[in-house]
Amino acid sequence: MEKEIIRLNIHFEEGFYTFSDQIKSQMRPLTEYTLGNFFTDDKPLNVEIGIGNGEFLCHIAEKRPDEHFIGFEVFRKIFRKAISKVQKKNLSNVKLIQYDASFFVPLLANNTVSNFYVNFPDPWPKKKHNKRRLLKPEFLKIISDKLIPGGKLFIATDHDDYAEEILINLKAVSELKPEFENYFVNELIDYYPTKYYRKFAIKNKVYFFKMVKL
């Protein structure tokens, strides 16, 4: 039996955010999904995976009003904080989606994203849970496919073991090359210090990765 292919109908409340309930209601067995464009023009598109309270996303979206930004976050309570931040700043170049980015990113068109940002992804520190980590070679390859030539992937983590795994996994994606000589640096002058960074990560060694698509 062949899978049915349907286009997801994403309705953004107030024009910029949507919750998982609206997406889950469209899910069916044996179905593949496609997406329409989230924006109506061809301005540069940026994606943050795991936006938390939206602090980082709002900061860069405010600085770059001529670009578009999509943010994904799983947890509803903290997602609502991101909605409030976008509202307070009256940002018209942001879309927020409360859903797992690992589902949505593969649906984005290839060669369309200028930058991906992944700030402090869940390290799943217990060894038995390591398989749940997001930044596996397969997902990094998908990210690479979605980036435009010259597009960049930014990753920050303060977890030593996860940083080691990210380094190994990035080396497995030949289309992505490091901008830093040793793949990562431990200080990044222009990194925006989010609440998580100020409260937790600044006490630890932080690993900043910046990759560019050839």
The answer to whether residues 68 and 46 touch, using CB atoms and an 8 Å cutoff, is yes
Q: For 86-125, b where at least 16 C-beta lie within 10 A, e where not — what string?
A: beeeebebbbbbbbbbeebbeebeeebbbbbbbbbbebbe
Q: Is 161 annotated as a binding residue?
A: no
Q: Is 41 annotated as a binding residue?
A: no
**In whole angstroms, what is the distance from residue 198 CA to residue 67 CA?**
27
Active site positions, annotated = 122
Q: Is 122 annotated as a binding residue?
A: yes
Task: Please tell me whether residue 68 adopts helix, strand or coil conformation.
Answer: strand
**In whole angstroms, what is the distance from residue 159 CA to residue 176 CA?**
22
**DSSP secondary structure code for residue 27 in this structure:** -
Q: Is 42 annotated as a binding residue?
A: no
Which residues does the annotation place in the binding site? 48, 73, 100, 122, 126, 158
Which residues does the annotation place in the binding site for S-adenosyl-L-methionine? 48, 73, 100, 122
Which residues does the annotation place in the binding site for substrate? 126, 158
